[in-house]
Structure 1
Amino acid sequence: MTMLAEPEQQEWLCAFSLHRNTRLLTASPGGLACLHGFRALSVLWIIILHSSLQLRLHSVNEEETSESVSGQRYFFVSAGHLAVDSFFVLSGLLLVYTSAGKTESLSLSNLPRFYLNRYVRLFPLLAAAVVMRAAEPRLTDGPRAVDYAQGVVRCRDYWWSALLHVQNIVNPREMCLGHSWYLSVDMQLHVVSALLLCGAGAARADRRARGRTWGALGAAALAAVAATLAFCFYFNFPDITKDSPRNWVSSAAFYWTWYYYNTIVRSPPFFIGMMFGFGLYVLKNEKLHLPKWSIWLCHGGALVLSLLVMLAEHPGTRAFFDHHLPALNLKLALARTCWALALGWLIFACTQGYGGPVNWFLSLRLWRFVARLSYAMYLFSNILQEEPDATGGVNYFDIRALLWRFCGDAAVTVAVSVAAIVLVEAPLHTLLAPLLKPRSTHKP
């Protein structure tokens, strides 16, 4: 009997190699270099937003907190929710850019494998985060631990809806890991997007296929924007001060469950990202020569759009929207579309050589490590940020305290994310890899 392991057994054992899995974190990633900077900055933006929310939760200086939040320096932090829309743009863009060449023969027979690849990509770390939240009573204790016990109960009751990516539809008010709504929406958009990619792989050589794909993506983006507009103006989500027969629509709970977590409302940035991704795929290894005036015009338009969307989060601007409901409906319906257009152009410009110093900054090697951890950081950061508040400590809120809290939250999140990837994600991906390989059609 030989003592040598078979190749399959060797691969199984290597899946648990700390040396091998750690090297995966430092491997040079391929793809579009500027996207590493976008991904890293987006996840850090989300962490500092959540740090500020937790720091304000039990602050002892309420008056100073109100002044700081309404100040000029804080509105950038309060606009951190836009980073989620950045992730939708990046997800749609990379879906097309990396998959278009593989979808020429996409049909009903291989759609399950297409979906399975995406599901397996998200499953290991999401399952680890669910287990971590369900086990939180054994990790955290304090005077306010009871306040966080509801999240534990929700994960023990509705863990299945989180892992199946349906919780924003099935139990939107009883979510396990409230911030994981993004993954549910993203997975649902991936299911729909597969139908739009039929024939996209032949678009580089076939003008008809290219036209059909452009038409499908453009129609999907326009339909998503139109549906969002109709949705916002019909339901009037922010109208909480008026007596009306539909006042129930304006409740905060309805706003979160039917607007903020809504797949239709969140879809425009994803489809816009798909359009930019398809443009980059068609122009892969080629450069689109544009006149300088058009480049500067697009740069200026992207800058104006992004600044307007962020300034809309300033307390003074919010007061204007609160008194002008039609303007507020337009903001809710179109702000994410404008942000996606600005971000999409910036990515396109950087990739095509028109990004200048912005492309240099976003392509720095220092972003690559954080970008590799971004998915894990998004999942675990909110859990880790909530735990200290369960111990019953009080907070003092100001900008300096916020920066210290952010640095600590980011450092702990990075450490936990590295451990989760090395010990959970990498081994499971290796073990599940045989399920994702296409079956051989070769006949001897």
Structure 2
Amino acid sequence: MARVALVLAFFFAQSVVVDSQDKMSESVKLTMKQGLIMNQVLAIYALDNVEDPRCKNHTDLFKNGLRRFEPWALKMFDSSSKIQPGILLGNLVEFGNFKQCIQTRFNEIKGKHCLMKITPDLDLIKTILRFRNVTEKRFAKIRLIVEKSALFWSVCVPAACPNSDVARHFNKTIMEMSDGLNLVVSLDDKHCQTMESEEKMGLTQYVSISILLVPVAAGLVSTVVVPHTRNSLALAFSIPSNYRKIVSRRSHNDLDCIHGLRFLSTCYVVIGHRFLMAMFSPVINGLEILDWIQYYSSTIIIGGTICVDTFFLMSGLLVSVGFFQHVTKTGKFNPLTFYLYRYFRITPTLAIVVLIYATLIQFFGSGPLWYDTCEAHLKPCRYYWWSTLLHVQSYVNPGALVPPEASLKSLMIVSFQCVLQTWYLTCDMTFYYFSPLVLYPLWKWRVLGLVTYAATYFFSLSISFYLAWVNEYEGGMPITNQLFETEYFQRHYITPHTRAPPYIIGLGFGYCLFKLNGEKIKMSTFTKATGWVLSATLMATSVVSCHIFQLEDYDYNRLEASLFISCSRSTWTAGVVWIVWSCVNGCGGLINDFLSCFMFRVLGRLSYGIFLLHLILQLFKNAANKTPIYFSNFTTIFDSLADLSLTILVSFFFTLFYELPLTALEGLLLKTKKVAPDN
């Protein structure tokens, strides 16, 4: 078919450019060989045995138009896929030309873009992988990546033709062309799109936009009113007031290094998610990813999921310090205030993002994958918004099915959760709810508190080990584009009872810092050097150790994998604890100066917005792609920096108009002071 396309392009270049309707009706004389090739083209791309009268008429017009090289017919043919190069390198997705197809018009004829899925059997996949020297042993390790691989092929047909006729014709055509191969050709109705397929805004969307504009309007009005009044409500929305909060140099405690750790960890998350998008999106060199995951450089990304535990540590640390400062000052603990403060500090801002996902994201773009991406991330927010806002989705949603309409699972990231990354908030809020069970005994009964603390930590560690052992999880994160459907992700990676150890370490660390009451602990040079070396070793080992599980010659060891899964996050956390400890005790040197610099204070205040918003940009940038991408470290890091730059900009305004005003309103409504530092 590539040869056919080349011949037709040559024909078109040789033909006279048609400027008038009269000339369009003139036939183009073809030689016998050219006529045979044209017949082959029409046999493939023009539907046959069509029952629908309107479709038959439009198909006949398309055939005649292509024989005459009429521009509209050439556009439709040009928009259809031809056999792409690099299939043996993993170039499995050919989108044709989506925009050109749906924009094609000729009298009543309109173009319709259909994306078909051609699924090979496992034996054919193994045969192709042998060209990459993939052995049976290696195949067992990468099976999750390749077992659902499929070729995606696009055609442009008249919009009047029923999808059933399109599916029948191309199923017959492709099966004839691939005689001897065990293939299954399928076409989902939702993967045929026309210009009219694009959803139009309705009342729900206009209401959502109005809600989103209220804080912006309030900010503009308050900016005018505040100079003439000290009204607390107006001050909450004041743009200058909130801007000063973002760029403030004030520090409320000695934990300034937290700002740098928070922002750098957020950057790590954004970069990791961009690599995830790149690996699991249509790429022209998909099989090179199989080689990439065996390089040590890839371990920085594959093992980088551990950076989330830095957030758990910091959250536990700040909650612990805030709790003991509060109860020491007031002499009492009010559970209702404790819980309400945290819930309303986090949830209203999250609700804004859930609203965007549930009602507006489908209007951000278009493309062959746009519908599927929206279905995978919009419907969970429509169905499970309540579990997201109640912070229980890690327990409520994992058994939920992805909407059946989202069938291109091999081409995109699908999720059962509303706002994918908020599994972290579910864990963090669960830890916060249960933290008094550890903190209160430490305050009232020190010995009992220490026993409770140790028992809680080892209990969570034991659960993690037990689940990894009985389910025989491979060490580290599974590398598969079906990641979010794996049992490991749903039952271990995102569940609070397995992710608690770093948070518990943070609670204990916060208690130690509080008891020191600002006292600096003197350490010898040897102790400092040993601590830094040990910290670097623990953190590096926690990341790099997962590499061994990706190697072809590694034989699965149940005990080794279970220990890594359950303990690696605690060892990473221990390394971060030393960094914070050194900075607090004045031993951080240049590292403390770097992490505590003013730039990170500002960016750290934007981190929550970056966390909530970055995946919107990443997911829907991928969904709007009209061609596959090329996967490499350079291009992905380049895209990551673009993600960060744009997300920081958007998060600045998000924080200015939404997060800070909503936080101020929470303080006014509850009429209470903070019981824990912001984290």
In structure 1, the partner of 2:340 is 116
- 1:34 and 1:9 map into 2 onto residues whose CA distance is 34
Question: Aligned pair 1:402/2:623, yes or no?
Answer: no
Indicate which of 349, 365, 371 corresponds to 1:146.
371
* Aligned ranges 1:14-413 → 2 under 5 Å: 14-30=235-251, 31=253, 32-56=255-279, 57-104=281-328, 105-107=331-333, 110-134=334-358, 135-148=360-373, 149-172=375-398, 173=400, 174-198=416-440, 209-238=445-474, 253-314=486-547, 323-393=556-626, 394-413=628-647
Report deviation, 1:300. Answer: 2.6
AA matched with 2:532:
H
- 1:438 and 1:8 map into 2 onto residues whose CA distance is 22
- 2:346 and 2:298 map into 1 onto residues whose CA distance is 33
2:579 alignment partner, SS class:
helix
AA matched with 1:323:
Y
Give 5+ residue unaligned stretches, structure 2: 1-224, 401-415, 476-482, 674-679
Report deviation, 1:179. Answer: 1.1
* Aligned ranges 1:429-440 → 2 under 5 Å: 429-438=663-672
The higher radius of gyration belongs to 2
Report deviation, 1:214. Answer: 3.5
Q: Deviations over 1:19-46 (max 9, x none)?
A: 2222211112523111111111100000
Give the stretch that moved more between structures: 362-371 or 290-299. Answer: 290-299
The answer as to whether partners of 1:29 and 1:368 remain within 8 angstroms in 2 is no
Give the stretch that moved more between structures: 145-154 or 252-261. Answer: 252-261
Report deviation, 1:424. Answer: 1.1
Q: % of aligned pairs identical? A: 28
Report deviation, 1:380. Answer: 0.8
Q: Deviations over 1:212-252 (max 9, x none)?
A: 4434323322222223222322332339xxxxxxxxxx995
The answer as to whether partners of 1:106 and 1:199 remain within 8 angstroms in 2 is no
Report deviation, 1:259. Answer: 0.5
- 1:297 and 1:13 map into 2 onto residues whose CA distance is 53
Report deviation, 1:178. Answer: 1.8
Distance 1:119 1:213, change over 3 A: same
Structure 1 runs of 4+ with >6 Å offset:
none
- 2:452 and 2:516 map into 1 onto residues whose CA distance is 19
Q: Deviations over 1:87-112 (max 9, x none)?
A: 001100111122211135445xx211
Report deviation, 1:295. Answer: 3.3
TM-score, scaled relative to structure 1: 0.87
In structure 2, the partner of 1:245 is none
- 2:455 and 2:515 map into 1 onto residues whose CA distance is 19
- 2:584 and 2:644 map into 1 onto residues whose CA distance is 29
State the aligned residue count.
417
Indicate which of 1, 4, 13 corresponds to 2:234.
13
1:313 alignment partner, SS class:
helix
- 1:397 and 1:315 map into 2 onto residues whose CA distance is 23
Distance 1:319 1:307, change over 3 A: farther
- 1:199 and 1:102 map into 2 onto residues whose CA distance is 15
**Which has the larger share of helix?**
1
Distance 1:141 1:265, change over 3 A: same
**Which has the larger share of strand?**
2
Kindly indicate whether structure 1 or structure 2 has the higher relative contact order, using CA contacts under 8 Å at least 6 residues apart. Answer: 1
**RMSD of aligned alpha carbons:** 2.6
Distance 1:103 1:94, change over 3 A: same
Report deviation, 1:67. Answer: 3.5
Report deviation, 1:183. Answer: 0.2
Give the stretch that moved more between structures: 324-333 or 262-271. Answer: 324-333
Report deviation, 1:436. Answer: 2.7
- 2:553 and 2:427 map into 1 onto residues whose CA distance is 31
AA matched with 2:632:
D
Distance 1:52 1:314, change over 3 A: same
Q: Deviations over 1:348-383 (max 9, x none)?
A: 122112223322222222212221111111111112
